[in-house]
Structure 1
């Protein structure tokens, strides 16, 4: 059992542009940190650089709001074009009030504004602002990056893509996994004995979310510019199941 976990923000990651080779960027950052990729490494990577590399930008000037978007924008005092994008990226609006739109993203997770973000984004034209959407398939993004790193380095690395979200029962945002590859995201301990031999009845550990949150501590939320965090010493099982096991079934969700 691992008794020590180390987290290292890989240094000097450049601003990522569409089409950039993230594997090369990450390996260069390993070298700058005087580190070599090793079996068991877990890379926690900010969603934003994945989306930028995949050109998941949307220009607000190109959006024509539908009647539903106009109504949502009026109720929440939101830019109607942004409201239209939020609806396009979502299955359902769950909660709303002025300044807040909580949705179920079409990929299944619940958070604000469908993960659409304007922070730390340079617009090509100040009269045509752009926003950044989540990756179209974060699990596939994680698998693709992991496969490339494994081929180049000949080591077994796991990849977690994280984003930030609030929680229904606590203040503040926290990092959570929206994509992963090479790691079992949910460790089921039901039936295992506790310290006194009693069988655990409900315990499941969201391993990928815990690592996503740990990585967020070093990434920060503003101008830190450290979007890749290396975790070493993690005890995990390999899996290519992705993040689906982390999403609670709707009929079990007491907050809806």
Structure 2
């Protein structure tokens, strides 16, 4: 029963555990703790620094090159600035240097994090139960930096017998307001409290919290494998604290996010019926108009076809113009029908945008060579704007296909969309949620496209 339920003033006590020897590979952490603190009681929570767990589990590595060790433990680079890397490691944790630590370990060696910190926490909890007969919670901690906050703190990377998250959604606050998003990271709060008494350099790797028995979960043993029963009772452990990719709004650093958006920019030819957020398209246009342009001009215009009626009217007129062109070319009706069907990618999209080039601010030299170069500069600038647009759409998780067809019937497009004569349509962009995952793109080596002088 919690203090709130009994009416008592909430309080707890936390202290560091003195007397632990230097931990070596093969040591039993539970027995070392039981020897140092035989007075542990049911409902206590043990906060154990991951370094001693790693040492006991033999996760010490001879490494003259720490960077190579970080590479080996890295699954994904989240952000990089100089030699500092924030990465996702093999345990799914996003942290600096993959958790590879060169402190508190002999020169020429590094410590890796425990392979499975939740399993490590369960082993310590089970060992204390066997040795002392007590039901305690165990949190394995490590030091993290945090986005938007200076300084370091300890957080939970492994847990057993502890309610790692306290979901308050569905309840109310002191004023009766509904709690719709409040999920408290209890295990992280415990880890930070323990760090206040353990310190970073005091040689006190374990702390005990007493007075918060309500956060300790019951141990349940059922028929069958006891370890599996323990894992089930402890639910997901600290793994539940790791935010999944689908819910992570800050998954990448700035340069990495740009590179991923460029990589995600793929031609999509099949779309779902899901509506497209007009705000997302407008944000993509805002990115488009940051492209470089000659003479401080703005050679881009984007016509957004947000109604089905406007899309159908344009595509019908373009189809009729295309059929007329194909007939003039002497194509058979069967060939014409096949070609028209292949052009249906624009019809399948729930949203269309028509980027246009305008030459406002361009110079006229009266010289064909220079006037041609002037127009080419504007075309290149407009293309840069469209590329920005497509990449920004990918960043919004929208698929797109840039189709050139409007360039072959510009007068028709201008007439149907009531555009000024000086607006030159540069194709049409089909936009929507991809109906299927894109096929693997053949790898391209950038070196194949370089010439160095």
Instruction: Find the aligned partners of 1:12 and 1:150 in 2 and give their Cα distance.
Output: 20
Instruction: Find the aligned partners of 2:143 and 2:96 in 1 and give their Cα distance.
Output: 9
Task: Indicate the residue corresponding to 2:248 in structure 1.
Answer: 253
Task: Indicate the residue corresponding to 1:15 in structure 2.
Answer: 22
Q: Which has the larger radius of gyration?
A: 2
1:230 has 2:224 as partner: no
Decide which of 82, 107, 113 is 2:97's aligned counterpart: 113
Give the number of equivalent residue pairs: 227
Instruction: Find the aligned partners of 2:121 and 2:207 in 1 and give their Cα distance.
Output: 14
Contact 1:44–1:162 at 8 Å: present in 2 too? yes
Decide which of 79, 93, 103 is 1:95's aligned counterpart: 79
What SS does the aligned partner of 1:243 have?
helix
What SS does the aligned partner of 2:37 have?
helix
Task: Indicate the residue corresponding to 2:52 in structure 1.
Answer: 49
Post-superposition Cα deviations, 1:44-67, rounded to whole Å, max 9, x if no partner, equal 000000000111011115xxxxxx
Matches within 5 A, 1:1-256: 1-2=2-3, 3-31=10-38, 36-61=39-64, 81-123=65-107, 129-222=108-201, 224-234=202-212, 235-238=214-217, 239-241=233-235, 242-256=237-251
Contact 2:75–2:90 at 8 Å: present in 1 too? yes
What SS does the aligned partner of 1:121 have?
coil
What SS does the aligned partner of 1:24 have?
helix
Contact 2:25–2:56 at 8 Å: present in 1 too? yes
Whichever structure has more helix as a proportion of its residues is: 2
What SS does the aligned partner of 1:87 have?
helix
What SS does the aligned partner of 2:67 have?
helix
Q: Mind listing any 5+ residue stretches in structure 2 that lack a counterpart?
A: 4-9, 218-232, 252-453
Task: Indicate the residue corresponding to 1:70 in structure 2.
Answer: none
Instruction: Find the aligned partners of 1:11 and 1:209 in 2 and give their Cα distance.
Output: 23
- TM-score, normalised with respect to structure 2: 0.49
Bigger drift between 37-46 and 242-251 goes to 242-251
Following superposition, the deviation at residue 99 of structure 1 comes to 3.3
Question: Alignment RMSD, CA only?
Answer: 1.3
Instruction: Find the aligned partners of 1:153 and 1:59 in 2 and give their Cα distance.
Output: 36
- TM-score, normalised with respect to structure 1: 0.85
Contact 1:168–1:255 at 8 Å: present in 2 too? no
What SS does the aligned partner of 2:215 have?
coil
Instruction: Find the aligned partners of 1:99 and 1:217 in 2 and give their Cα distance.
Output: 29
Following superposition, the deviation at residue 82 of structure 1 comes to 2.0
Following superposition, the deviation at residue 237 of structure 1 comes to 4.7
Post-superposition Cα deviations, 1:231-253, rounded to whole Å, max 9, x if no partner, equal 00113151512112111111222
Post-superposition Cα deviations, 1:116-138, rounded to whole Å, max 9, x if no partner, equal 11111124xxxxx1100000111
Post-superposition Cα deviations, 1:151-207, rounded to whole Å, max 9, x if no partner, equal 121110110000001011100011000000001101110011111222101000101
Whichever structure has more strand as a proportion of its residues is: 1
Following superposition, the deviation at residue 115 of structure 1 comes to 0.5
